[in-house]
Structure 1
Amino acid sequence: MKANIRRSKNKIETITDTQGQKLYKDTEIENVLVDHFKNLFTKQDTHNIKETVQIVEGRISQDMHQELSKIFTKEEVFQAIKDMKSLAAPGPDGLPALFYHNYWEIIGEDVTNMALDILNNNSDPSHLNSTYICLIPKTNNPSTPSDFRPISLCNVSLKIVTKTLANRIKDMLPEVISPNQSAFIKGRLITDNTIIASEIFHYLAHSKRKNGYVGIKTDMAKAYDRVEWDFLEATLTSMGFPKSMVSTIMNCVRTVKFSILINGHPSQEFYPQRGLRQGDPLSPYLFIICADVLSGLITKAQQDKLIHGVMICHEAPEISHLFFADDSLVFCRANTKEVSTIQNIIQIYQNASGQLVNFSKSEMVFSKGVSNQIQRDISNILPMKILNQFSKYLGMPVALGRSKKQIFNFIQEKIWKKLKGWKEKHLSFAGRGTLIKAVAQAIPTYLMSSFLLPKGVCDQLEKMICNFWWGSSTDHRKIHWIKWSTVCKHKMEGGIGFRDLRAFNEALLAKQGWRLITQPDSLVAKILKAKYYPKGEFLKASHKQQMSYTWKSILQASWVIKRGSYWTIGSGQGINIWEDNWIQQKGNPTSTISKPNNCGLIKVKELMDDNYNDWNVTIINQIFNPYEAHMIQQIPILDKTQSDILTWDGTRDGHYSVKSGYQAIMEWAKNSDNNNATSSNSSMEIWKVLWKLNVPPKHSHFIWRCLSNAIPVKGKLFKKGIRCDPLCPRCLNHVETIQHVFLECDWAKKVWFASPLTLNLNSNQLTEFYDWFNYMIINTDKECMEKIVAITYEIWNTRNLLVFQNKDLPPQEISANALKRLHEFKSFEEQRTPIQKPSHKSCRNNTSWSPPLRGCLKANVDAHLSSDGRWLSGLVLRREDGSAVGSATRMHKGSGEAVLGEALALNDAMEWVAKFINHQVVLETDSQTIVKAIKGRMRIRKDWGWIVQRSIIFLEENPNADIRWVPRSANRVAHEMAKWAEIEPNSEWINCVPTCIWPFIQKDKYFVAPD
């Protein structure tokens, strides 16, 4: 139904041609659209391409060139298809990525060979390169071809090729693309631009400089569609991309043929001569590479002092431009000389690239003090609108006055429009919940990532969402049966899991603060540090006069990072003993200690042994009480040559995430609320079981309302002051309560007894519905609980049929109807095609240990936590026949997470096998987390992260070595060795193992199939 409505809404009934005449016939509409896009994609004359692209010459370093020139592998092709969304729109062949995911084992080899032939042998991809153009309306009532945005629907087979190219290119771009561009670059965000822009406009609004500035926001007309292919090829070549890669890219770009989808039917085909397809995975990266030519031209003018960007303070970087894809914001001094330079640069770029500035949609603003005459002179050079201030930049308000609530009203209006259009009467609670989470609560996320919304705005948004949830409207208010704070709790704590907007806002802003700490070399970090904490650190920054609202917002959320993070110790040079959080206790990363009198020690480094990676026990015992001394000595010192690292406690890798930040804020709020007792295990179990049942979502939501005492039975309505008869409509003898409707009424008892469950509900059983449901969970299985849920829902439906339509059904039909609907739901679920990602087919059963290849060695390693809280390592090195080359045990101070113990064991193994490195050595561990981090070259901020980095370096320096994951069952010998380390720690055995380990060695020898 929804698809039909959308199709009807988007149908092109008429089109206006270039003569202003309205056309209605299908053939006429097709001709107009095809002619328009043929013209748009037709090559135009360009000038001075070679000279223009010299500005980006040599951006690709020799190391990058070497990496880009490597032969493409089947693993890269596999990763490309794995990364694609399963149900994204397919191309002309009609095959979505889901087809490739589900049948990769059958078609994978052929598809991989096809892709590698194009990537490595520069084969012609034209047979894959047919593309539909889907027309997306840019306005509510599109009337001309320019009112549509052309989105390309490429064949997935072609997208596999371009996605593989994109995956290889994108890792190089942070070093290649100017820091003034933030789109599609790893480590950069759109909010980098909006925060910088906000700071600049805040500065300009308060600046009293005589030399004013102008901010120019340009609109590039059809930016993707106008990229000239010769310019693209010249740019890639000038940057230094390998010739073979440039040739492959241009083959994929130049061999395309288009067909426009008009009301669901493809038009005649035509061949474009320029443009990048919006919908091709490679296009965004090619576009920002081209745009960097313009960035380079502006930067060169700035370096030559032909223009001057804005410096918001003395030490801040000078900002002359900010780019995000095709959105450009340029700054210079407000005089005709500099503006003429900008105009000249734009003209040079347009002539070479094919881009065209749409001056009618471009705008500019001036800082205070720029006279009207100068503004008029500048507008004669750049004929665009002059505004007092930009209302928005990249969808974000940049000029904020005193009334923040008034400025942020637009977000309320946006959400209200969505809520009004959903027709909540036709949606179940489950449907409303899905829409609230996916849309209503997602809309303000972008805004909240840069601004702390006023409490009144958050309250108003939550009120709107709450009204929608309970079915209220402007003319009819429904009862809100449960407090909104309870509804916002996690599902495992009795809520629905809606977000607390204020807490989520703070979690998003804390992410910005975390990026300032962890990416100090980013452009946004340099600017904010220069202005607000030039000689200090972000976490110690304080409020100042004339702060922008963006900075106030980020600073106000810094408490989240302070409370939820701790220092992982490296050299100890940067950690203050008494002020910083470095003694991590479980669940309390913010543990600090009091400074004793007459103690001159300041840095953690002063507590370390000068000669070893260990603590100075004598000093520690002198200064700290026994408990503190013990806690300190449990902290491992892994490498004093490394810098100290701020670590977020709430994630496995130590990096802050918005999800973990939000969870932490909610947990802290719960713990600080004395009236909010922690949920018991039995309470959590009932919610855990409920949400895991395989029943229709509206059934589980209904039971949640029953368990939360939020069903509008007559007894509750009467207490609320609603004029109604509080008695049960069936028996007319008792007040209608939740437990009466489902458990106590004679009619309900007959339903339960007549069902296949044959439940006999007598007065001795639990009568509160919550207690009864919990009792049934404990004493029945999952399948039985699903039937109970279905029957409960049907009892309520039948009750409503009686109350509102005066119709009734016999008890024996109730369970039959309920179980029939449950069966239909399960059958439908089973028939749905599972959306699964392709996986490499395992070539052997690796549940048992397998020997190495002939002439190679294999080291198995595992960790074990001793009874006194120390990490023990067990190592065994074996030949291809299963015999032992040697074995060893190690002991380490400190406990910590299990992954740290596994990492220490792996580190011991790397040191121990170093003397055998002339052989090919495979190291096996049963820690999937560590192997995944090593293979993915992840930056881990926790203590075990240093061992991951060592492992990466170890593999780079020793090409004969490899580190792999195996299940625990294939690592049994190492596991037993780690346990034996408690008896004989720090010991080695040559050509043998301890006697108690021998039976396990013998058992593994039975498995002779090599790797």
Structure 2
Amino acid sequence: MRLLSMEELEARKEVKGDFEKWALMKEISWRQKSREVWLREGDRNTGFFHKMANSHRRRNCLSKIKINRTWIDGEDAARLEEAFTEEEVFSALSDLNGDKAPGPDGFSLSFWKFSWDFAKEEVMGFLKEFHEHDRFVRSLNSTFLVLILKKAGAKDLRDFIPISLVGGLYKLLAKMLANRFKKVVGKVVSSTQNAFVEGRQILDTALIANEAIDSMLKRNESGVLCKLDIEKAYDHLNWNFLLLVLQRMGFGEKWTGWISWCISIATFSVLINGPPTGFFNSSRGCRIKGRSGDGALVSHLLFADDTLVFCDASQDQMTYFSWLLMWFEAISGLRINLDKSEILPVGRVENLEVLALEVGCKVGKLPTSYLGIPLGANHKSVAVWDGVEERFRKRLTMWKRQFISKGGRITLIRSTLSSMPIYLISLLRIPRVCFANERETLWRRVIRRKFGEEEGGWYTRDVREGFGVGLWKDIRKEGALLQNKVVFSMGNGRRVKFWKDNWCGNFTLCNFFPSLYAFASYKEAWLEELWDHLGEEGVWSPSFSRPFNDWEVEKVERLLLTIRGRRLNPLLEDRML
């Protein structure tokens, strides 16, 4: 060992100063991250600050964020992962069609139904093993693929429709998982998506789209409507994207694991002219402003992968939209088929070609068709029915070439031709009871915001001429004919009127007891207002503006006998039957 020279001492001093400076800066950094303000009285150890900062990071990390009730709570997640019961299994088995073609195991569902009494132990054992270990034998998820021609002379693979023949046990398991899932899917799927959610239907989307276009035209607003076609949506779906979405929506680890196992171990064998080929795995894909004041915002509508997006006629907005589609494709593994997608002008749009070029799709025009329903068309126009008429002509031309008896022709007309216009008619004739009872659906909110609603919320207000498309006008007009014959089922009594609504039989009390109604204190009273909650059961207490005469006591007696036994239930909503 030797003493350091002057140069070495200066170098060590400089290095030591640099070390202390960087150590101080690191300490300040961790102190700022830890947000601790009591440093002078506490520990100045950098390790302490490091732990505190990591703690804050874990606490502030956003694994998921709730937007308009778009995740399920812990109770629903736990219910999805409960053990399978024999009643649940048999109920799912009974709901399945037993006559479908069997899969690789050779057993149709009719076999499992017929042999349930002695096969149920094996089935329950299979489900118990799946519940406990989150997996089952891979061979149970083998599938035969049958290719069905889309058109005569097809050669390209895209011209065939693949039909999956799945094994019976896996089909039963999938049905049970679907039954559980459909109980919570409405909580996590946006109201703009109307496919595969109980209580929503395809016609809702078409009605909303027509009303939205009408509102823009009546207010002289310009905009564009992007009609998107997602290519082979179920075949190209990225599994990691699907599982990540399930996790972010609050589904439990076990449930997510079940779904991951079911979709990832599937093997397929194509039946070519009868015999199967070898099995192969898949790497992705799945089988399978108004009169009432505030406007109802509609930015996009979906039915499965059929998508409509409402945009302003702005090049900047279309640029952002094209970026959004690009990111969506990158994350989900899906692909927008721009050759089949189109941009439709609503109102006067001068730079339409520029907007279409920004997205990369073709230019279309209104009226068009969406989900088989005319979009942006005058519903009274004969042209609305051109598609139905064309299908009629094609069927009749084909039948004329065949030797069919008169009785056979009548059968074909009743079974085929008579059902063709039903889909289109169903939108033009939506029952009024839907508006009364489907209070949370998107289509009802749009109609209510646009036309307003009468007291009680059972009907919209009268529709003025020139306001709104003809669809809802006709529905409102026809509903008015039935208004006096509507019967109500009372719940909490907040939307049914005591005297004027039909709730206690095939009559209204004001018509059945006109002399009593004449001096009733409150002729517009709701049921809730005339129900006295005194005691455990409660009693009716209609009020009158004067004492009864002797000859009116009997009528009051009959009134009380008529409503006796009918009680309000504060936990239920009033409904229209």
Structure 1 counterpart of 2:343: 364
Structure 2 counterpart of 1:174: 186
Structure 1 Cα separation of the partners of residues 290 and 481 of structure 2: 30
Residue 141 of structure 1 and its aligned partner are, at CA, apart by: 4.5
Structure 1 Cα separation of the partners of residues 290 and 101 of structure 2: 45
1:611 has 2:534 as partner: yes
Aligned-partner residue type, residue 148 of structure 2: I
Counterpart among 567, 572, 582 of residue 503 in structure 2: 582
SS of residue matched to 1:220? strand
8 Å contact from structure 1 (residues 226, 274) kept in 2: yes
Residue 273 of structure 1 and its aligned partner are, at CA, apart by: 0.9
Structure 1 counterpart of 2:358: 381
Structure 1 counterpart of 2:163: 151
Change (3 A) 1:320 1:569: closer
Change (3 A) 1:67 1:607: closer
Aligned-partner residue type, residue 136 of structure 2: D
8 Å contact from structure 2 (residues 142, 266) kept in 1: yes
Q: How many residues align?
A: 502
8 Å contact from structure 2 (residues 343, 364) kept in 1: yes
Structure 1 counterpart of 2:218: 206
**Superposed CA offset, 1:190-243 (max 9, x none):** 11111111111222333313xx21111111111100011222222222222111
Change (3 A) 1:316 1:604: closer
Residue 600 of structure 1 and its aligned partner are, at CA, apart by: 3.5
Residue 69 of structure 1 and its aligned partner are, at CA, apart by: 2.6
1:327 has 2:248 as partner: no
SS of residue matched to 1:408? helix
Residue 422 of structure 1 and its aligned partner are, at CA, apart by: 5.1
SS of residue matched to 1:216? strand
Change (3 A) 1:361 1:577: same
Higher mean C-alpha deviation, range 558-567 or range 192-201: 558-567
Structure 2 counterpart of 1:553: 474
1:531 has 2:450 as partner: yes
Structure 2 counterpart of 1:216: 226
Structure 2 Cα separation of the partners of residues 174 and 551 of structure 1: 26
1:448 has 2:425 as partner: yes
Structure 2 Cα separation of the partners of residues 124 and 640 of structure 1: 47
Structure 2 counterpart of 1:192: 204
Alignment of 1:868-907 (within 5 A): none
Aligned-partner residue type, residue 401 of structure 1: N
8 Å contact from structure 2 (residues 210, 376) kept in 1: yes
Structure 1 counterpart of 2:8: none
Aligned-partner residue type, residue 567 of structure 2: L
SS of residue matched to 1:59? coil
Aligned-partner residue type, residue 313 of structure 2: A
Residue 388 of structure 1 and its aligned partner are, at CA, apart by: 1.7
User: Sequence identity, in percent?
Assistant: 27
Alignment of 1:725-764 (within 5 A): none
Aligned-partner residue type, residue 541 of structure 1: R
1:228 has 2:238 as partner: yes
1:89 has 2:101 as partner: yes
Structure 2 Cα separation of the partners of residues 161 and 128 of structure 1: 11
Higher mean C-alpha deviation, range 87-96 or range 191-200: 87-96
Structure 1 Cα separation of the partners of residues 163 and 261 of structure 2: 20
SS of residue matched to 1:113? helix
8 Å contact from structure 2 (residues 448, 460) kept in 1: no
Residue 601 of structure 1 and its aligned partner are, at CA, apart by: 2.1
Structure 2 Cα separation of the partners of residues 74 and 435 of structure 1: 43
Change (3 A) 1:609 1:146: closer
Higher mean C-alpha deviation, range 105-114 or range 251-260: 105-114
Change (3 A) 1:526 1:226: same
Structure 1 Cα separation of the partners of residues 102 and 367 of structure 2: 39
8 Å contact from structure 1 (residues 217, 362) kept in 2: yes
**Superposed CA offset, 1:648-688 (max 9, x none):** 2xxxxxxxxxxxxxxxxxxxxxxxxxxxxxxxxxxxxxxxx
Change (3 A) 1:250 1:610: closer
Counterpart among 88, 112, 117 of residue 129 in structure 2: 117
8 Å contact from structure 1 (residues 340, 381) kept in 2: yes
Structure 2 Cα separation of the partners of residues 124 and 109 of structure 1: 16
1:345 has 2:324 as partner: yes
Change (3 A) 1:311 1:268: farther
Give the alignment's TM-score, normalised by structure 2: 0.78
Higher mean C-alpha deviation, range 194-203 or range 114-123: 114-123
Higher-RCO chain (CA-CA 8 Å, sequence separation at least 6): 2
Unpaired runs of at least 5, structure 1: 1-50, 279-309, 453-508, 649-1011
Change (3 A) 1:369 1:604: closer
Alignment of 1:177-576 (within 5 A): 177-209=189-221, 212-278=222-288, 314-371=293-350, 374-401=351-378, 403-418=380-395, 421=398, 426=404, 429=407, 435-452=412-429, 509-510=430-431, 513-534=432-453, 536=455, 537-539=457-459, 541-545=461-465, 546-559=467-480, 562-570=483-491, 572-576=493-497
Higher mean C-alpha deviation, range 226-235 or range 628-637: 628-637
8 Å contact from structure 1 (residues 253, 276) kept in 2: yes
SS of residue matched to 2:450? helix
Structure 2 counterpart of 1:681: none
Structure 1 Cα separation of the partners of residues 428 and 241 of structure 2: 40
Structure 2 counterpart of 1:973: none
Change (3 A) 1:569 1:629: farther
8 Å contact from structure 2 (residues 495, 574) kept in 1: no
Structure 1 counterpart of 2:3: none
Residue 417 of structure 1 and its aligned partner are, at CA, apart by: 3.6
Structure 2 counterpart of 1:646: 575
Structure 1 Cα separation of the partners of residues 198 and 174 of structure 2: 18
Aligned-partner residue type, residue 158 of structure 1: Y
**Superposed CA offset, 1:709-744 (max 9, x none):** xxxxxxxxxxxxxxxxxxxxxxxxxxxxxxxxxxxx
Aligned-partner residue type, residue 526 of structure 1: R
Aligned-partner residue type, residue 252 of structure 1: C
Give the alignment's TM-score, normalised by structure 1: 0.46
SS of residue matched to 2:105? coil
Structure 1 Cα separation of the partners of residues 558 and 213 of structure 2: 53
Structure 2 Cα separation of the partners of residues 268 and 640 of structure 1: 62
Structure 2 Cα separation of the partners of residues 392 and 625 of structure 1: 64
Structure 2 Cα separation of the partners of residues 343 and 311 of structure 1: 30
SS of residue matched to 1:266? coil
Residue 137 of structure 1 and its aligned partner are, at CA, apart by: 3.1
Structure 2 counterpart of 1:863: none
Aligned-partner residue type, residue 519 of structure 1: E
Structure 2 Cα separation of the partners of residues 591 and 138 of structure 1: 62
Aligned-partner residue type, residue 434 of structure 2: R
8 Å contact from structure 2 (residues 225, 343) kept in 1: yes
Change (3 A) 1:168 1:550: same
8 Å contact from structure 1 (residues 400, 549) kept in 2: no
Structure 1 counterpart of 2:561: 633
8 Å contact from structure 2 (residues 435, 444) kept in 1: yes
Counterpart among 139, 142, 149 of residue 137 in structure 1: 149
Residue 403 of structure 1 and its aligned partner are, at CA, apart by: 4.3
8 Å contact from structure 2 (residues 233, 305) kept in 1: yes
Aligned-partner residue type, residue 362 of structure 1: S
Alignment of 1:853-1002 (within 5 A): none
Tell me how large the CA RMSD over aligned residues is.
3.2
Structure 1 Cα separation of the partners of residues 395 and 305 of structure 2: 28
Structure 1 counterpart of 2:27: none
Residue 617 of structure 1 and its aligned partner are, at CA, apart by: 7.8
Aligned-partner residue type, residue 262 of structure 1: I
Residue 568 of structure 1 and its aligned partner are, at CA, apart by: 3.5
Residue 102 of structure 1 and its aligned partner are, at CA, apart by: 1.9
**Superposed CA offset, 1:782-824 (max 9, x none):** xxxxxxxxxxxxxxxxxxxxxxxxxxxxxxxxxxxxxxxxxxx
Structure 1 Cα separation of the partners of residues 96 and 148 of structure 2: 22
SS of residue matched to 2:135? coil
Structure 2 Cα separation of the partners of residues 220 and 172 of structure 1: 26
